[in-house]
Structure 1
Amino acid sequence: MARPVYRRLLAAALGVALVAAGSTSASAEPIQLVTNHTCAYPLIDAQPAQVTRATDLPEQVTQGRRLDRAPMQSRFLLGRQVAEMMRLARATSVKVTMVSDIRIKPVVGPARPLESETEIDWISVPQAPDDEFEIVFNTYLAPLDFPDVGEVSIKVYDVFLNLTLRRSDGSIVIAHEVHCMQDPGQDNLLAAIRVAAPAAPANLRTTDVGIDTVELAWDSTGQPAYEVFRDGELAATVPGTTARVSGLLPDTDYVFTVRSPQSPFSAPLSVHTRPRVTHHDWNLAGAATLKAAHTSVALRGTLGVDHDVLTGNFTADLKLDPATATMTLNGMFPATARVSFTPIGKMTGTFRTARVDVGITLSNLTIFGFPLPVAPCRTTAPTALDMSSVNLTMAGSFTIAPFTGCAPVTNLVTSNVSGPDNPLEVRLS
């Protein structure tokens, strides 16, 4: 067994800071147990001794907990006769190792020994005949585990001392093991500890819900590990009070519960994962400049977006309201026209860049205020609107193809409206 050397503390009632490190349990209660023993010494035979043990074990712990350190102080009163024996041997100092027979009876299974050994390095032998000889040992019980619900008892029995006597010149006089038998009929119960089942984790909640992941959190019950179940099947085992469950399906209902290995399940939590494709409806407003005609037209409409959250791509239905353009043809003919941008297919792209092809149609054409009896004239090829987006503002430029169907002013319209570098800007709301 390991032999840690602790500093000696002699006489006086000494308090020990007894903290069961890393434990979560009911409040610890100070424990003091006094037992009487009879020790067989060399030369002086049987002599009485008294052991006073002080510790601070909890009255109750939660199932599955571990007390990593259980400190204990043992004050061993040897008596005047023992000190006299040492003086007769002309010993001036003594080194003592104490091994206590301490046993723990778990809820299930037989009692087993707890390691409790400590050593006091050289201390002076009392020289006055009436001095009591008391040695104080500070040690720790071996780690205590509580795997089952019920009551655990810890009892103390015999003590074994290994005495080494030394004279002032450094020579060893006696090295002897002393067996101190516990006197019969005594209360030797050091502690009785109730082991209670842990409570079910409470306040199970989501901290984030994604397309294929869910992040969960719950209140601690003091357990070292928790099991997360998804639809009744174990999904994760975690050391803390948070978990991230992945591998889920988009737009799907799941039921989660949590427990520690010994506790009941938490209340169930229903979670619906986010859909992979989300739909957003936007209003848009802005303007398009017809560069060759030295005019602009107001743009208003709607944009219905289906957004793939995983890829970031979207497809959208664009609808633009017709607008009236006022212009001067060939710099001398005042004219008006109803301008319609008609999408050909869907807008595609991301929230950074997007593209849609449109056909441009002019109707209700007037020159000098007189309507022209022409069929709606339209561009001969689709116009590509390539736009980039920043903070919900989409901007770009486009080229207007030549017009057809505008007789007798087809050439006039084409020369005054068609051409490249026509700016466009709309804002989504």
Structure 2
Amino acid sequence: MKKKSARLRTGIALGTATGVAVGLAGALGAGTAAAAPAAAAAPSAAAGSSAAAAAKSLTYTCNYPLIGKRQVKVDIETNVPAKLGVGQSSGKIQVTFTATLGADTTSGLGAVDGATIEGAADAKAAITGPGFPNGLNVNIKNAIQPASIPASGSFQLKGYGEAPALTFDEAGPVVAKLGAMDFTILLKKKDGSPAALGTFKAACTQDAGQDPTVVQAEIVEGDQTLPPPLTPPSYFPYTAAPVAPGVLKYGFTLGGKSLIKNANGTVPLKGTIGVDVDGATGAINGDLFLGKTSGQMNILGFLPVTAEVDFEQIGKTVGTYAGGEIATTSTMNIKMPNFLVFGAIPIGGGANCKTSEPSVIKLTSPAGQFFNPKAGGKLGTADYKIAPIKDCGALEGILSLFAAGTGNTIDLDLTPKA
């Protein structure tokens, strides 16, 4: 008999876990949800019923591919009865939810081409009760209501979940506590085609300092009055086939500057960068172009020299887009075709004047700040090396002393191409 009791009490916890998990699945997308169908309204108890709807609010932090962590608040209502008679069927366990998602989630999903969201979730619940005092861990699958993702701002997402009807043959209390959530999500673009992330997995952990109890029920002698059942919405259960990830394409114009430390001078920078980002791994591959530029240097501490600088990319720019931050590596030959004293008198340079070995330039977005490729932002490096120059004329040695060295910096502002 105890084996049967454990199975039935598991069902109650599963039903509640369904609702919370469904709600948190909504956190994986940011959308202006359409109103839930009338049939999926929050359940209410019948007159004289001992089965009042249970409500719970929890916050979770979800880790998304590419864009990083985002928080969601979930409000759940379930028709799990406060009391159920021994031997009485509970009827189907049903849950509705409202997930409140922040503006940072909206911008994050928009950054990876998300215009709508749909999907499923697995909830993990720990249950204690008569017949299994040491607890029992259970999982259940559930669905979220497909929704549109707004251009900006926070929003609410609706959803639904359920578990099979239950019958208990033993009296006593049942408690279920919700743990982590695992999600399977599909974002779609404005044209309805899948976004480049494809069908992706994401994990959500419960924020600290909360009571994770989602069910406290009592099995008693005598049948209880139960609430009327809801009509399940059309999106439940979620059955769409998985979609393979693709490639995100971003293009930027850029402007900024590079400090040449030993020469005590700065050169302005203009150019473009276009990258492909692997939707599964965040790996970056692209081309960085920096236009020819010139800047005022001070050689020997007093001699003003205008140096022309030309960055020539070798191979591709590679890197990652992960946790909402960009990190790239570019390899550049640095050519210096002209050194002019007082802006007019040539003292070195030439068509073959360049660094004796390429410079490896590692550019990153600011740590701890979300880089939205659809909005642009900053990219830079606090240190890159310029090797000694060669084939630059009779004063090459002197010029090299002031051109070469470490501690050089780059600061760029990226603007998305129209």
TM-score by length of 1: 0.39
**Higher relative contact order, chain-length normalized (CA < 8 Å, sep 6+):** 2
Higher Rg of the two aligned structures: 1
- What TM-score do the two structures reach when normalised by structure 2? 0.40
Higher helix share: 2
